[in-house]
Amino acid sequence: MRLVMLGPPGAGKGTQGQRLSERFNVPQLSTGDMLRAAVKAATPVGLAAKNVIDAGGLVSDDIVIGCVQERLSQEDAKRGFILDGFPRTISQAAALDELLNSSQHRLTAVVELLVDEELLLDRVQKRAQEALDRGATPRSDDNPETMRQRLASYAESTAVLSNFYYNQGRLVSIDGMRDVDQVTADILEALT
Ligand code: ADP
């Protein structure tokens, strides 16, 4: 199973991606998580990415493609993966196709979560509040100002991927406004 999760920030890619990862027993690869780990560890990638992430922009294609390429070459990703947060640009999508082609693989499907964008700001604020309630630190980019910019980055660079994958015949569009379990059930049904 080789899946890409597509959708704006706060759409539920991470939540659904994790469930699909357990269901299909393949790793969930989140470029957001990879980049946040790099920021925390203050690696060269992390240092280059931190300000961009906090501004709600997109980290450069070179950096992100490098991270994904390295991660996909690891043993546990050989049987499949759930990509969450990648690709986010047409160049990243083309690089992914090339990477998969070179190992004679292709994407099984691209799962697009359709959501009402006006509600995303609320969802992300809720996620930040839940972190605070747990005594954890919210993500530095889960604040209204950065979230607006993340939505703008999505509209500008990522939304076109829906057409890109539709044209490849790989797009599966799912109503992401239903409850979490129902969304999972809808995805599984669409994939079988
Ligand atoms: P969300 O999908 O909720 O916005 P992510 O955890 O996927 O959150 O990403 C957080 C941030 O990390 C993004 O706003 C962006 O700055 C950076 N990022 C993650 N994945 C990519 C990518 N594929 N290309 C460029 N930047 C990325």
Using the structure block, give the residue that is written with the tokens 């390429």. 69
Whole-number Å distance, alpha carbon 82 to ligand 1 midpoint, is 15
Question: Any catalytic annotation for residue 2?
Answer: no
3-15 pLDDT, tens digit each: 999 999 999 999 9
Q: Whole-angstrom Cα distance, residue 169 to residue 161?
A: 12
36-93 pLDDT, tens digit each: 999 999 999 999 999 999 999 999 999 999 999 999 999 999 999 999 999 999 999 9
Higher confidence at residue 19 or residue 192? Answer: 19
Q: Whole-angstrom Cα distance, residue 32 to residue 38?
A: 10
Alpha carbon 95 to its chain centroid, in Å, reads 16
In a mutational test of the pocket of ligand 1, which residue from 88, 145, 149 has the highest number of ligand atoms less than 8 Å from its CB?
Answer: 88
Ligand 1 binding pocket, CB closer than 6 Å: 9-10, 13, 31-32, 35, 52-53, 56-59, 64, 85-86, 88, 92, 141, 150
pLDDT-derived band of residue 192, with 50, 70 and 90 as boundaries? confident
**How much is the average pLDDT of 153-169?**
97
**How much is the average pLDDT of 3-32?**
97
Q: At what angle do helices 144-153 and 44-55 cross, to 10 degrees?
A: 100
Question: Any catalytic annotation for residue 123?
Answer: no
Nearest to 5 by CA among 87, 65, 77: 87
